[in-house]
């Protein structure tokens, strides 16, 4: 089935007249690397495509070849000649629907992803949940179709793979991830640029915000869970972008002796974004229960109309005029053995 779907996607891509490639609504190294790899594959096969991203490409990814072609202008979908939409690393059907419904026609939608929570919204769905990254799904697509992998494609795919495996350190890292990486490096991927982007990109402000989060770590030893919080004030005082603090959960997951951790941070929209990581528990269950999604070992959700407050030295979530300690507010007792 996987092979047949790879072949079908290949046929659809090469016969499309006006394809548009779309990355996840939350742009990251994997969704961007995957979408750009496919852009280069098409270009090398004499086909032009347009690339839509929901937010501007962060500075750190400017090394990706031709990443300037990414557009944040959704009016590109107001075009009845679009016959194919290919979506990468996105498990949010509503986001894809909101774009596709602008097209006055019936484009085919291809969904390439690896999220366990992907609802299979495409006409063609290649959702491989055993893949460590969507970049790996794209790699398998290219291999299945005997495509020669070029330098540009390799660099884009390696960026995706390194991002989602946190440089081959988290539990998504399997034998395949390392095997794929070795193929990509053999095909000329710019590995030093990728490493710099993943690790050597934090400002002093971002590290100070990490410091605040480290000071506030709270242990829940009976359920082997750890939590910490960041307020808007922390984020704004040090003028760090949300993107700059994204790596905090991955960093803690790498170094902490606790199996499961949650990083809570206040968003500019007046909510609390919760990122969960675990080495042993399925955190996608708690994320789904709160309206979010993700993978078993890495998932997230946002509590709307919520804020973080400190009450008697205990960090709490305040919502609907009620203030509860984090464990109670997130309903840990339903998801973890207490
Ligand atoms: Mn991914």
Supply the CATH number for residue 25's domain. Answer: 3.90.1640.10
| DSSP helix, strand, coil percent of the chain (3-state; round to 5) | 40, 20, 35
Residue-level pLDDT at 159: 97
Q: Residue 138's domain spans which residues? A: 2-199
* The pLDDT of residue 255 is above 90: no
Alpha-carbon span 141 to 109, nearest angstrom: 16
Residue-level pLDDT at 107: 98
Q: How far is the CA of 276 from the centre of ligand 1 (A)?
A: 15
Alpha-carbon span 45 to 76, nearest angstrom: 23
Single residue among 149, 172, 199 that ends a domain in this structure: 199
Q: Please indicate, yes or no, whether the overall pTM of this predicted structure exceeds 0.85.
A: no
Residue 13 and residue 149 share a domain:
yes
Residue 189 and residue 253 share a domain:
no
Alpha-carbon span 229 to 326, nearest angstrom: 10
Residue-level pLDDT at 317: 97
Residue 225 and residue 186 share a domain:
no
Residue-level pLDDT at 301: 96
Residue-level pLDDT at 269: 95
Residue 322 and residue 290 share a domain:
yes
* The pLDDT of residue 235 is above 80: yes
* The pLDDT of residue 199 is above 80: no
Q: How far is the CA of 190 from the centre of ligand 1 (A)?
A: 20
pLDDT, average across residues 133-161: 98
Residue 243: CATH number of its domain: 3.10.310.30
Q: How far is the CA of 231 from the centre of ligand 1 (A)?
A: 27
Q: How far is the CA of 322 from the centre of ligand 1 (A)?
A: 35
Q: How far is the CA of 173 from the centre of ligand 1 (A)?
A: 12
Residue 12 and residue 140 share a domain:
yes
* The pLDDT of residue 246 is above 80: no
Residue 121 and residue 103 share a domain:
yes
Residue 258 and residue 135 share a domain:
no
Residue-level pLDDT at 242: 73
Residue 124 and residue 23 share a domain:
yes
Residue 164 and residue 232 share a domain:
no
Whole-Å CA distances, 255 to 18, 172, 279, 296: 46, 16, 12, 19
Residue-level pLDDT at 250: 82
Single residue among 141, 173, 199 that ends a domain in this structure: 199
Alpha-carbon span 232 to 7, nearest angstrom: 47
Q: Which strand (E) or helix (H) includes residue 332?
A: helix 332-335
Q: How far is the CA of 34 from the centre of ligand 1 (A)?
A: 9
Contact by Cβ (8 Å): 175, 140: no
Q: How far is the CA of 115 from the centre of ligand 1 (A)?
A: 7
Q: How far is the CA of 307 from the centre of ligand 1 (A)?
A: 28
Residue 184 and residue 125 share a domain:
yes
Q: How far is the CA of 195 from the centre of ligand 1 (A)?
A: 17
Q: How far is the CA of 113 from the centre of ligand 1 (A)?
A: 7
* The pLDDT of residue 149 is above 80: yes
Q: How far is the CA of 106 from the centre of ligand 1 (A)?
A: 27
pLDDT tens digits for 56-85?
998 889 999 999 999 999 999 999 999 999
Question: E strands along the chain, which residues?
Answer: 19-23, 50-52, 70-71, 84-88, 108-113, 124-127, 218-220, 225-230, 260-266, 272-278, 293-294, 298-303, 306-311, 314-319, 322-325
pLDDT above 70 covers a percentage of the chain that reads 100
Q: How far is the CA of 318 from the centre of ligand 1 (A)?
A: 31
């Amino acid at each position: 089935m996987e092979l047949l779907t790879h072949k079908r996607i290949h046929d659809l891509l090469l016969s499309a007249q006006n394809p548009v490639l779309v990355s996840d609504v939350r742009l990251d190294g994997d969704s961007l690397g995957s979408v750009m790899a496919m852009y280069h594959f098409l270009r090398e096969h004499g086909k032009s495509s347009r690339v839509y991203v929901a937010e501007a490409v962060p500075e750190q990814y400017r090394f990706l070849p031709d990443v300037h072609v990414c557009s944040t202008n959704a009016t590109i979908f107001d075009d009845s000649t679009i016959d194919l939409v290919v979506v990468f690393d996105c498990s949010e059907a509503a986001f894809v629907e909101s774009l596709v419904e602008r097209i006055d026609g019936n484009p085919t939608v291809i969904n390439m992803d690896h999220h366990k929570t992907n609802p299979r919204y495409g006409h063609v769905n290649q959702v491989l949940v055993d893949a460590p990254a969507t970049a790996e799904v794209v790699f398998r697509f290219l291999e299945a179709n005997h495509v020669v992998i070029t330098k540009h494609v390799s660099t884009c795919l390696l960026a995706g793979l390194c991002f989602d495996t946190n440089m081959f350190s988290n539990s998504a890292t399997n034998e395949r991830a390392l095997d794929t990486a070795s193929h990509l490096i053999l095909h000329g991927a710019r590995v030093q640029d990728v490493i710099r982007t993943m690790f050597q990109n934090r400002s002093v402000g971002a590290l100070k915000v990490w410091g605040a989060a480290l000071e506030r770590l709270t242990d829940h030893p009976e359920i082997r869970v750890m939590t910490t919080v960041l307020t808007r004030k922390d984020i704004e005082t040090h003028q760090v972008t949300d993107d700059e603090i994204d790596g905090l959960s991955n960093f803690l997951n790498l170094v902490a002796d606790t199996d499961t951790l949650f990083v809570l941070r206040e968003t500019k929209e007046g909510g609390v974004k919760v990122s969960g990581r675990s080495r042993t528990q399925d955190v996608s269950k708690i994320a789904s229960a709160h309206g979010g999604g993700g993978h078993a070992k890495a998932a997230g959700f946002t509590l709307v109309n919520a804020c973080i407050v400190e009450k008697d030295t205990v960090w709490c979530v305040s919502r609907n005029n009620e203030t509860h300690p984090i464990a109670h507010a997130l309903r840990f007792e339903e998801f973890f053995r207490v």
